[in-house]
Each structure stands twice: as structure tokens, then as C-alpha cells.
DNA sequence: GTCTATAGTCCGATAGAC
DNA sequence: GTCTATCGGACTATAGAC
């Protein structure tokens, strides 16, 4: 056993999610979060660049998952199909965490600053995806557009998955559905 | 003549763009911006909720322009075509302001916090667009997707318009081009 | 771990326009 | 008198520097 209780970072994340949920993001101070986790304010800011960052995973497993999935899709697949396959396989990361995801999204939905951070994380995800597409030989306007459009479909699917009651629909199923709707919209049924 | 020089807000916007450009967003304080505009820090914060907001127009003409354009598109047009028409007509707002747009985008590109604010403004634009589509009778997943996809295409077009040298291409032409590329990507050529 | 600057808020004061 | 735009000072939390 070390001198400190293990997983300071995880305890801060947990405490922050609780406090932001209880009294709102702006009403919770970094000091309070740290205290609830048995640490000092200074330690909070050593782990997270700012108050918002504590809600967003550091080494985002979603990035890695998307890239490895994309790299295993057959070369013959069209860009949008490759993106679809990658998104669907990444859904596995969420299946056991629906309640946590709901809590997190509720906190984010209640505060504009947190929404800003969420959006830039999604934009970074789109960049990662576009970069992986370029490695497949997709040239630039198409790579960016396919990535952005894929993320847009994922956002819609995720929103539905979160808001539907209970544990009914599978996220990957909803993603497939959103992408179909997207096609219908673009082709102009 | 009043007691104060006119257009305090405009002077603050001008001073902010200059200072952010000269020494970067983080290195410029609200106090300095206010002083350059002949005002005090306190007045800066009465006009703008925070340091970032000074770069983003208050009553965004882009919102209005998109909505009125969308409302005049024939009912028969498919959602994506309506969005395309609205975006193209809104391009007129930028034609005389390419240099200003370049300056502004350079400042934003240099700072993450400003990118966050930019993204949430674009998200708000997409919401406005989706809402206008719903008024046309487009039902919800399609309305959101058409709006998001339209904004994605616009972003790509705007980026090209800014980065190309001189005053060659027309923005509305680049928007039409991006939307064509989008179609090609989705259909899976 | 302490110390500090900046962001951003709150309350009140002032001075002109109407 | 009311309304509106400015200024002044005190204050807290964030976040970075030492």
C-alpha cells in the first residue's frame, strides 16, 4: 500500500460528476470537488487543465477504437461505409455504461461551457477520423466531409440512445439507422 | 453630441480583434482592450459576457438571413436542396468582408477557447436551420441531419474561401461545390 | 504549497438624454 | 422625475507561476 489512496484521478472524476449533478457546474468549486475526493484544490488542477476537463476522458478510448476499426475495414469499402463500420464497432465501448452516460449528458446539457467542450472533443474526433481516412487514400474534401457527417449521425443516434427509457435499443443499431436516414436526406427521397 | 463617443461596442470589437491579432488571445487582457477603445474594463464586460464573445456578432445576421431564405424556398424542394439554397443566398453577407473574415479566422485558429466558442455558434446555427426545416414539415431526425450536414459543407467551403489567395472564387460557388462533394461521398461513388 | 494576475460579478455613483 | 451608458471599487474563483 502506498502513502495515498489509489486512483486519485478517478476519485476526482467521480466527485465532480456528483457535485456538478447535485448543484450544477457553476455552483461547484474545484476546491469542493477535491475535498470530496480527499485531496486538495492544487491536486485537482494538476490532474485536469480546467474545471471542465474532469468530465472528459483523458486518453479517449473512442479515438483509438475508431482508428483501429477503420484500419481493419477492407480497402474496397467506400469512405462512408468505412466510417459506418468504425462507428458501429466503437459502440461496444458504451454498452455497459448507459446510466453513466445519461448522468454525464444531463450535466453537460445543463451548462453552455460544458457543451462547448463537448463540441470541441467531437470536432477532434472528426479530425482523427478524417486523418484515418486519408491514410486509406481518401482525398481531402471527401475525407473531412465523410468524417463530419459520420459524427453528426453518431450524435443523433447517441442522443436517442440516451433519451429512450430503459435498456431497449442497441446503440449500434441506432447508429445504422441514423446513417440510413442521412442517405435518404442527401439523396432527396 | 452625447457625452460619449459613439459606438462603444464597435470600438471594443475593433480593439479586441487588433490586440488578439497582435499578441494572441490569452496575452491580451480585457483592461487593455477597453483602454485602447477609450473605455474601462467594467464597460467591456457590460457589453460582452466574456473575453471571447467580443469576436462573435451579437444579433447574428447569418441566422436571420438563413431563416428568411429558407422560408422563401418553394415547398416542393427537398430538405437538402432548401438548405443548399439558404446557404448560398447567405453567402452574400460575406462577399465584401473577405479580409475581415481572414483576420478573424486567423485569430480563432490560434486559440482553442475561441474554437470552442466558434463551434457552439455553428451548432446554434444548425439548430436554427433545423427549426426552420421543421416549420416546412420536415420531421425530426431528417431536419437535424440536413441542417448539420449543410453546416459541415459550409464550413469546408468557408475554409477554402478564406485560405485561397486573393479574391478569386465566389463563396456561394464553393458552397455548391462542397455540397456536390458531400453527395458523392454519401452515395458512395 | 504559496502567491498572484486575470476573469467575471455585484453594488453603487454619476452625468447626460428624454 | 426616469432611463441609459459610463465609471469605481470590492470581491471570489480560476488558473498559472514560482
Three-state secondary structure along chain B? CCCCCCCHHHHHHHHHHHHHHHHCCCCCCHHHHHHHCCCCHHHHHHHCCCCCHHHCCCCCHHHHHHHHHHHHCCCCCCHHHHHHHHHHHHHHHCHHHHHHHHHHHHHHHCCHHHHHHHHHHHHHHHHHHHHHHHHCCCCHHHHHHHHHHHHHHHHHHHHHHHHCCCCCCCHHHHHHHHHHHHHHHHHCC
The pLDDT value recorded for residue B2 is 67
Query: Whole-prediction pTM value?
Result: 0.96
Closest CA of chain B from A1, distance in Å:
40
Q: Which three cell numbers stand for residue B41?
A: 474594463
The fold adopted by the segment(s) A8-54 is Arc Repressor Mutant, subunit A (1.10.10)
Interatomic distance B12 CA / D11 C1' (Å): 25
Interface of B with A (CB under 8 A): 78-81, 112, 115-117, 119-120, 123, 141-142, 144-146, 148-149, 152-153, 155-156, 178, 181-189
The pLDDT value recorded for residue B189 is 59
Give the chain B residue nearest A84 (alpha carbons). Answer: B186
| pLDDT tens digits, B24-64 | 999 999 999 999 999 999 999 999 999 999 999 988 999 99
Interface of A with B (CB under 8 A): 78-81, 112, 115-117, 119-120, 123, 141-142, 144-146, 148-149, 152-153, 155-156, 178, 181-189
* Contacts A185 to B, Cβ<8 Å: 79-80, 142, 145-146, 149
Cβ atoms of residues B131 and B71 within 8 Å: no
The pLDDT value recorded for residue B1 is 52
| Residue limits of CATH 1.10.10.60 in chain A | 8-54
Contact A141 B117 (CB under 8 A): no
The pLDDT value recorded for residue B58 is 87
Contact flag, residue B34 CB and nucleic strand D, below 7 A: yes
The pLDDT value recorded for residue A1 is 60
Question: Does pLDDT of B18 surpass 60?
Answer: yes
| pLDDT tens digits, B149-184 | 999 999 999 999 999 998 889 999 999 999 999 999
Residue where the block lists cell 473577405: B98
Cβ atoms of residues B38 and B63 within 8 Å: no
Question: Does pLDDT of B188 surpass 80?
Answer: no
| Residue limits of CATH 1.10.357.10 in chain A | 61-187
Q: Which residues of chain A have pLDDT under 50?
A: none
Q: Using alpha carbons, select from A187, A81, A183, A94 the residue that is nearest to residue A138.
A: A81
Contact flag, residue B3 CB and nucleic strand C, below 7 A: yes
Q: Which of A145, A183, A188 sits opposite B181 (nearest CB)?
A: A145
The pLDDT value recorded for residue A6 is 87
Q: Which three cell numbers stand for residue A74?
A: 477492407
Q: Which three cell numbers stand for residue B86?
A: 439558404
| pLDDT tens digits, B133-152 | 999 999 999 999 999 999 99
Mean pLDDT over the full length of chain B: 95
The CATH code belonging to domain A61-187 is 1.10.357.10
Count other C-beta atoms under 10 Å from residue A61's C-beta. 10
The pLDDT value recorded for residue A4 is 79
Half-sphere exposure of residue B8: CA atoms within 13 angstroms, side-chain side? 17
* Contacts B144 to A, Cβ<8 Å: 156
Amino acid at each position: 500500500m502506498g502513502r495515498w489512496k489509489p486512483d486519485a484521478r478517478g476519485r476526482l472524476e467521480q466527485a465532480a460528476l456528483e457535485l456538478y449533478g447535485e448543484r450544477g457546474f457553476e455552483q461547484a468549486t474545484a476546491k469542493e470537488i477535491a475535498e470530496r475526493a480527499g485531496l486538495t484544490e492544487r491536486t485537482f488542477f494538476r490532474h485536469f487543465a480546467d474545471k471542465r476537463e474532469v468530465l472528459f476522458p483523458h486518453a479517449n478510448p473512442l479515438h483509438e477504437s475508431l482508428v483501429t476499426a477503420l484500419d481493419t475495414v477492407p480497402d474496397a469499402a467506400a469512405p462512408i461505409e468505412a466510417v459506418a463500420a468504425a462507428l458501429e464497432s466503437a459502440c461496444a465501448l458504451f454498452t455497459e455504461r448507459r446510466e453513466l452516460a445519461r448522468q454525464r449528458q444531463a450535466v453537460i446539457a445543463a451548462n453552455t461551457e460544458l457543451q462547448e467542450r463537448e463540441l470541441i472533443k467531437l470536432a477532434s474526433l472528426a479530425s482523427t477520423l478524417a486523418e484515418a481516412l486519408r491514410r486509406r487514400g481518401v482525398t481531402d474534401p471527401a475525407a473531412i466531409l465523410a468524417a463530419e457527417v459520420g459524427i453528426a449521425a453518431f450524435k443523433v443516434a447517441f442522443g436517442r440512445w440516451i433519451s429512450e427509457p430503459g435498456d431497449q435499443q442497441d446503440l449500434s443499431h441506432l447508429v445504422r439507422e441514423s446513417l440510413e436516414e442521412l442517405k435518404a436526406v442527401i439523396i432527396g427521397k
